[in-house]
């Protein structure tokens, strides 16, 4: 098993290219199930989660080729479709559930295992299945599999009121509704850029969708969808993560491909902490002002609020801030597992339920730590970059799910980071 060894290295500088969004790509790929014509994605990230989704779609009958060193994914689903998504693949990744809506829409039936993913809290499928049932599907859970059938062989449009703004459920229902008979209205829909990106792609395929980016999305079902070529939106979580490198270590870094509109709430907190962010012709330039980081309070919220996927990385920054910061996690109830690992490095953190209180210390110190999930992994690397001495991050396989070439990118701005085989 690999480890990442990080040595505190002082200020960083240079440029980091930001990849296409993992979460967007994982929603875009199942859209190939909706059409017999080819769907090609460009600016795709090269990650293990993308390989897992490729494996799943191929098991369902899709033909998939990775081109241009994996940055282009060419997909075609013109043959016979297998409507069973097996546990052995689905258990590896939460986003596997996004094949349920497209399979039901195209074939009228599906058998999909309950999904897996990072252990960051309960993420039930009820909101997905309730929405599909309102569209005329009957769904039963038997032996860990959802057995779904569309009444009369085709889903019907419906008004669906989500109890909370679920990104995955919005994506699943939106895809299912593109081929449903009649009009579907999703109220309390998620507003994330990944939702807008999926809607843009589906429109290129011939779908009729309005309101994406707002809390009400309207989809008028069509009889068939065609092919398309679509560029995956920039990954706002990778963007925010690498913006924190100069914030934590000092220096100045330009994140190529970054857009302020993707991370406005995050940038507001960086500004409050004393970090300068400037939009350039090529991306976002981030520089740390002189003096210590100021403590800030952070509450995670659905987009356009502060992203839960940047909470762990932000905590790493605030460990050495001047004063006391309070981080409130309102999306997932089990997402402070990185806190004890940061404490091993000398951080002063108290966790009570969904709230973490961070009292800034002068300096973190390197230590052996263990990654507990994807975002926690990179938060420990960032902390190690500013710590005194050597930090050894174990269980870094989580990283490969969400960050491509993380060592290469951080080394390129002067960080002392290397990946080695555990002895």
Tell whether residue 236 is among the known ligand binding residues.
no
Q: How many CB atoms lie within 10 A of CB 150?
A: 25
Residue indicated by tokens 């932000």: 314
| DSSP state, residue 403 | -
Q: Which of 25, 77, 118, 319 is catalytic?
A: 118
94 marked among binding-site residues: yes
Q: Which residue stretches of 7-158 are H helix?
A: 22-28, 48-59, 87-90, 100-107, 126-134
- Which residue in 233, 291, 280 sits closest to 253, CA to CA? 280
Annotation marks residue 118 as catalytic = yes
Rounded-to-integer distance, Cα 289 and Cα 191, Å = 33
Q: Which residues does residue 169 pair with via DSSP β-bridges, in sequence order?
A: none
CA angle 218, 158, 40 (to 5 degrees): 50
Residue position matching structure tokens 């100069």: 246
What are the E-state strand segments in 271-401?
Answer: 275-279, 283-288, 298-299, 324-328, 348-352, 355-359, 368-370, 390-394
Q: 205-210: long-range contacts at Cβ-Cβ below 8 A with a sequence spacing of 24 or more? A: 205/31, 205/34, 205/35, 205/39, 205/178, 207/178, 208/178, 209/174, 209/178
Report which secondary-structure segment, H or E, holds 267: helix 264-273
Strands 84-85 and 216-220, bridge-based pairing: unpaired
Strands 324-328 and 355-359: antiparallel
Tokens 């980081």 correspond to what residue?
293
Q: How far apart are CA 160 and CA 321, in angstroms?
A: 44
Q: Is 106 assigned a ligand-binding role in the annotation? A: no
Per the annotation, where are the binding residues for phosphoenolpyruvate? Answer: 22-23
**Residues with catalytic roles:** 118
Per the annotation, where are the binding residues for UDP-N-acetyl-alpha-D-glucosamine? Answer: 94, 309, 331
Per the annotation, where are the binding residues? Answer: 22-23, 94, 309, 331
């Amino acid at each position: 098993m690999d480890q990442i060894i990080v040595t505190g290295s002082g200020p960083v500088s240079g440029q980091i290219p930001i990849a296409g969004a993992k979460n967007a790509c994982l929603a875009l790929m199942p859209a190939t199930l909706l059409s017999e014509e080819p769907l090609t994605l460009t600016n795709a990230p090269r990650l293990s989660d993308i390989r897992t989704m490729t494996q799943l779609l191929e098991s369902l009958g899709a033909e998939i080729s990775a081109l241009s060193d994996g940055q282009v994914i060419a997909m075609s689903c013109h043959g016979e479709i297998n409507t069973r998504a097996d546990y052995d693949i689905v258990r590896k990744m939460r986003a596997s559930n996004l094949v349920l809506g497209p399979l039901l829409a195209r074939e009228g039936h599906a058998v999909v295992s309950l999904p897996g993913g990072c252990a960051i809290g309960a993420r039930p499928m009820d909101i997905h299945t309730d929405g599909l049932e309102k569209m005329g599907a009957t769904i039963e859970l038997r032996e860990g599999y959802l057995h779904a059938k569309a009444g009369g062989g085709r889903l019907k449009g419906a008004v669906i009121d989500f109890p909370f703004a679920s990104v995955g459920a919005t994506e699943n229902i939106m895809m299912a509704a593109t081929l449903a008979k009649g009009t579907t209205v999703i109220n309390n829909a998620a507003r994330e850029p990944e939702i807008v990106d999926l809607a843009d792609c589906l429109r290129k395929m011939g779908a009729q969708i309005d309101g994406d980016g707002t809390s009400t999305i309207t989809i008028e079902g069509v009889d068939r969808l065609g092919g398309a070529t679509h560029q995956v939106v920039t990954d706002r979580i990778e963007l925010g993560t690498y913006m924190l490198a100069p914030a934590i270590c000092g220096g100045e870094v330009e994140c190529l491909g970054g857009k302020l509109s993707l991370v406005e709430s995050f940038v507001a907190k960086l500004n409050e902490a004393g970090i300068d962010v400037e939009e350039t012709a090529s991306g976002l330039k981030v520089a740390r002002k002189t003096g210590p980081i100021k403590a800030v309070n952070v509450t995670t919220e659905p987009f356009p609020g502060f992203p839960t996927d940047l909470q762990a990385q932000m905590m790493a920054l605030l460990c050495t801030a001047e004063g006391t910061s309070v981080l409130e996690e309102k999306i997932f109830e089990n997402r402070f597992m990185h806190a004890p690992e940061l404490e091993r490095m000398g951080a002063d953190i108290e966790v009570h339920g969904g709230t973490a209180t961070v009292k800034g210390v002068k300096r973190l110190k390197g230590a052996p730590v263990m990654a507990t999930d994807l975002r926690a992994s990179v938060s420990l690397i960032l902390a190690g970059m500013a710590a005194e001495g050597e930090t050894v991050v174990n269980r870094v396989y989580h990283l490969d799910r969400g960050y491509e070439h993380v060592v290469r990118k951080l080394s390129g701005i002067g960080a002392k980071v290397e990946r080695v085989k555990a002895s």
